[in-house]
Amino acid sequence: MSETQFLQLLSQNQGIIGKVCSIYCNHREDYEDLFQEITYQAWKGFASFRGDAKFSTWLYRIALNTAISSFRKRKPNIDFLSEIPDTVTETSTFEEDEKQHLLAAIKQLNEADRAIIALYLEEMSYQEIAAIIGITENNVGVKITRIKNKLHQILTNGKR
């Protein structure tokens, strides 16, 4: 595949990178750095992309692995974005205030749970999530139920 094909596929799927960055980053500068690092990692790995999976699935895997790796390296202070980047608001049906609370709650989850719930919120099937994360479909279902319960606890305990 050529550079032109890569750039076209990346352009069509850049929202994936933006969504992953918004879940793992607290500051605009970190968001931009991670976006660039994911793009670089995708470019480095593009030669090995065989097309066995959809490009979007492959890109999610790279984005999540890069974000988790980056997150582990720097152990950030937890403070929340004052606003959600456009890439998240375009696809969400929540009201603005609810989006802020949900994003804040998601950021309190561990990195693996963040990855799973991000894919779930993208309305991916359990099969697609399992392929990206590398676990069984049944395990995806169990984890999503547990993550929903955690988010419910965070959101209800956080409301006054």
What are 44-51's contacts with CB under 8 Å, separation 24+?
Answer: 46/1, 46/6, 47/1, 49/1
pTM, full prediction: 0.61
**HSE toward the beta carbon, residue 25, CA cutoff 13 A:** 27
CA neighbor of 10 nearest in space, from 40, 30, 31? 40
Convert the pLDDT of each residue in 40-83 to its tens digit: 999 999 988 888 888 998 999 999 889 888 766 654 443 444 44
The pLDDT of residue 71:
64
Rounded Cα–Cα distance for residues 104 and 96 (Å): 12
132: tokens are 């990206």
